[in-house]
Amino acid sequence: MEEVIYPSLTEEEIRSLEQQIALIGEKIIKDKLYEMLYKCKYNSLDLRQKKIKIYEEKIKRLQNEEDI
């Protein structure tokens, strides 16, 4: 199986993609797109640190959903 290479994105690109993903109604698709975005966002980190950051982002999103 071939490893996926995620591109590095600028902060502006990340913010724009986050706004676009937020418009998606289907939770499974939205969650997968956020996960892919976070892999791009933290592309420069080693694998362990990248996983930590991705989980922190997921926790933050879940907490924000509960506030709504």
**Mean pLDDT (the chain, rounded):** 89
| Res 44: pLDDT | 84
| Res 59: pLDDT | 93
Q: Tens-digit pLDDT profile for the chain (68 aa)?
A: 667 888 888 999 999 999 999 999 999 999 999 999 998 998 888 889 989 999 999 999 888 876 65
Residue with tokens 């982002």: 57
The 3-class secondary structure across 31-63, one letter per residue, is HHHHHHHHHHHCCCCCHHHHHHHHHHHHHHHHH
Report the predicted TM-score, pTM, of the whole model to 2 decimal places: 0.75
